[in-house]
Amino acid sequence: MLDRRDLLVGAARLGLLGAVTRAWPAGTLQAQAPPRQTWGKEKLIARSARPPDYETPVSLLDSFITPTEHFYVRSHLPVPTDLDARAWTLTIDGEVATPLTLKLDELRTLPAATVTMTLECAGNGRAFFDPPVAGIQWGKGAVGTARWTGVRVADLLKRAGVREAGRFVVMNGGDRPLGTMPDFVRQMPIAKALDADTIVAYEMNGQPLPPVHGFPLRAIVPGWEGAYAVKWLNGLSVTDRESDNFWVASAYRYPVRRVAPGAAVDAKEMAPLTGLVVKSLITAPLDGAKIGSGRVPVAGFAWAGEHDIAKVEISVDHGVTWRPAQLTGEQARYAWRRFELAVDASRPESYLIMSRATDSRGNVQPEAPHWNPSGYLWNVPDRVRVEIVGA
Ligand SMILES: Nc1nc2c(c(=O)[nH]1)N[C@H]1C(S)=C(S)[C@@H](COP(=O)(O)O)O[C@H]1N2
Ligand SMILES: [Mo]
C-alpha cells in the first residue's frame, strides 16, 4: 500500500520537492532520505545507522558520568526531525480530573529535580547468548550514567488529579510508526510514576537533551530497563488497563520461570521487564591488553537498578577464588558504583580477570546465563583476558 510518506519519498527521489516539504511534517521525509547522520557519535560502535543505534566501547566507559557524546544510543524508529522546542507540548490526560497541555517554558517553571542514573538497554550483552537471539547484537556498552534534570511526574499527575481508576501511565514519544515498526509507547504502573525520582527530563549532564537522546523531553524511570526512558516525550496518559501497544504487550517481556536455552516460550509465561539486574563491567584493564608483570589495577562499575551494590569481587583463577574489591567514588541511588582492586599477575602468561557483583538484597551475578528468547538482562560475571608480558 502506498501512503503519503511513500509518495513523498518517491517525489524526493525524483527531485520534485518544494512546497510539499513545508506542508508535511519534516520528520517522515528526512528520516528516510540521506544524508546519513552520526549525531556526534563518531567514537562509538555503529550497530545501525538508521534508526541510530550506537554502542559505547568499554574504553570510553571509564568515568562515573558518561560524557553525553559517548553515551550509547538506542532507537527503534528514526529521530523525529520536527523537534521544535517552542512548539513542543506535553499532554497529561486519560484518567485525570483536569487534562493538561504544557509547553516547555511552563515545565521549566515547576520545581526541578536531578537524578543521577545508570541507563542500560535491556538487550545489553545480547551478543553473548548461546544459542544466539535475534535483535541488535549489543556487546557490553549499551549502558551509561548521566545526570538527568527535569520535573517530577508526580508533580504533573498531582496537578492533573489522578482519578481512582488510574492504574498505569502510558508514555508516548514523538517518533512515528514506520514500516512494520509500531509507534513507540511504554507503560509504567502508577506507583512507579508517582515515585519522587521518576521525572520528565529536559537536561542531560547539565545541557538540553541532544536530539538523539530525546530532545526536548524524555522520561527517566530510575532503575528500570532503558526502554522506559521514552524519548521525545509528548504524552502521559493515565489508564485503567494495560496498553495493547506492541512495545508494551509483546516486547520487553521475560520468562517468569527459567527456560532451556533456545526454548520457545508461551506469551502467557512472560512478564514485563521492570528493574535492571545486578551486573558489573570491568573498564580497566581492557580486554586483550598487554601488561607488564606485577600489580595490575583492576577497576570498573557495578549496578543493580533499584538496588545498591553491596560487594564486588574479582577472580583471576577462573572463579575458583574471589577477592573483594573496594567500592569507591560517588554513590547515587540509581547509579553504578566504581570498584577497584590491584591483583597480582606476575607470571608471563594470559590471565582471565573476572568481576562478580552482589546487590543489597543478596542477589549475585549468576555463573550461568539466564537464556531468554529476546536476549534481555545478560548478567553473568564480566571477564577480560590480558597478557602479562614480563617485567
Ligand atoms: N521514543 C522512543 N524512546 C525510546 C526508544 C525509542 O525507540 N523511541 N528506545 C528506548 C530504548 S530501548 C532505550 S535502551 C533507551 C536508550 O536511550 P538513549 O538512546 O538515550 O541511550 O531509550 C528508550 N526510549
Ligand atoms: Mo533498550
77 pocket-lining for ligand 1 (C-beta < 6 Å): yes
As a whole number, mean pLDDT of residues 10-32 equals: 36
CA of 121 to the centre of ligand 2 (A): 4
As a whole number, mean pLDDT of residues 229-234 equals: 98
- In this predicted structure, what is the pLDDT of residue 346? 87
**How far apart (Å, rounded) are the C-alpha atoms in residues 254 and 249?**
12
- In this predicted structure, what is the pLDDT of residue 391? 63
> Which of ligand 1's atoms lies nearest the C-alpha of 73?
19
Q: Looking at domain 279-388, which of 2.60.40.650, 3.30.300.30, 2.40.50.140, 3.40.1080.10 is its CATH number?
A: 2.60.40.650
232 pocket-lining for ligand 1 (C-beta < 6 Å): yes
* Pocket-testing residue among 74, 126, 230, ligand 1, by greatest number of atoms within 8 A of Cβ: 74
Contact 379, 123 (CB under 8 A): no
Question: Which residue has its alpha carbon closest to ligand 1 atom 12?
Answer: 227
As a whole number, mean pLDDT of residues 247-258 equals: 96
Return the amino acid letter for 58.
Answer: V
Range with the lowest mean pLDDT among 17-31, 45-59, 124-138, 167-181? Answer: 17-31
As a whole number, mean pLDDT of residues 310-338 equals: 97
76 pocket-lining for ligand 1 (C-beta < 6 Å): yes
**How far apart (Å, rounded) are the C-alpha atoms in residues 186 and 188?**
7
Q: Is the pLDDT of residue 11 over 70?
A: no
- In this predicted structure, what is the pLDDT of residue 35? 59
Q: Which CATH superfamily is domain 35-251 in?
A: Oxidoreductase, molybdopterin-binding domain (3.90.420.10)
As a whole number, mean pLDDT of residues 20-34 equals: 40
| Phi, psi (degrees; rounded to nearest 5) at 159 | -65, -40
CA of 76 to the centre of ligand 2 (A): 9
- In this predicted structure, what is the pLDDT of residue 390? 75
Q: Is the pLDDT of residue 23 over 60?
A: no
CA of 132 to the centre of ligand 2 (A): 18
- Beta-strand pair 279-284/294-303: antiparallel
- In this predicted structure, what is the pLDDT of residue 1? 35
List the chain domain ranges.
35-251, 279-388
* Pocket-testing residue among 231, 232, 234, 376, ligand 1, by greatest number of atoms within 8 A of Cβ: 231
CA of 319 to the centre of ligand 1 (A): 35
